Structure 1
Amino acid sequence: MTTAVIERKWHTTAEVADMLGFGLSKTKMLVLTGEIRSVKVGRNRRILPAWVDEYVERCAAEAEDMRWSA
């Protein structure tokens, strides 16, 4: 018998805050301003792992651009 491993498809705002090492308020602001994409499911916001990766990659690219322009 094989056991299927179900991976999480969505993250809560609190989980994303923990992953990024940010406070919950900062993460909620990033979601509200659209810097981190999210969808509303009922009364809650949910964030795909790929959207967290997009945010991190965008921040890293901006930091790299600033490094070379300084």
Structure 2
Amino acid sequence: MTTAITPKWHTTAEVAAMLGFGLSKTKMLVLTGEIRSVKIGRNRRILPTWVDDFIERCATEADEPMRWSA
């Protein structure tokens, strides 16, 4: 019997592919803190729930009425 191991962390490249963004856009979102990440050694890793949090924030902002500033 084989057991499939589900990834616990995602790389920035994997998150970019999931979101349909370019790698540089995703790296910018990580660097600005819009997508949470943790640095492990020389690598950035992102929890699946952090990707979900980002998507939820984007969806919530899209539902809010547009506010115009004068």
Question: TM-score under structure 2 normalisation?
Answer: 0.89
2:57 aligns with 58
Aligned-partner Cα distance in 2 for 1:55–1:66: 19
TM alignment of 1:15-30, pairs within 5 A: 15-30=14-29
Q: Deviation at 1:5?
A: 2.0
Identity of matched residues, %: 74
Structure showing the higher helix proportion among its residues: 1
* RMSD of equivalent CA atoms: 1.6
| Structure 1 residue ranges, 4+ long, deviating more than 3 angstroms after superposition | none
Query: Which residue is equivalent to 2:31?
Result: 32
Structure 1 unaligned blocks of 5 or more: none
- TM-score, with length taken from structure 1: 0.89
In structure 2, the gaps of 5 or more residues are none
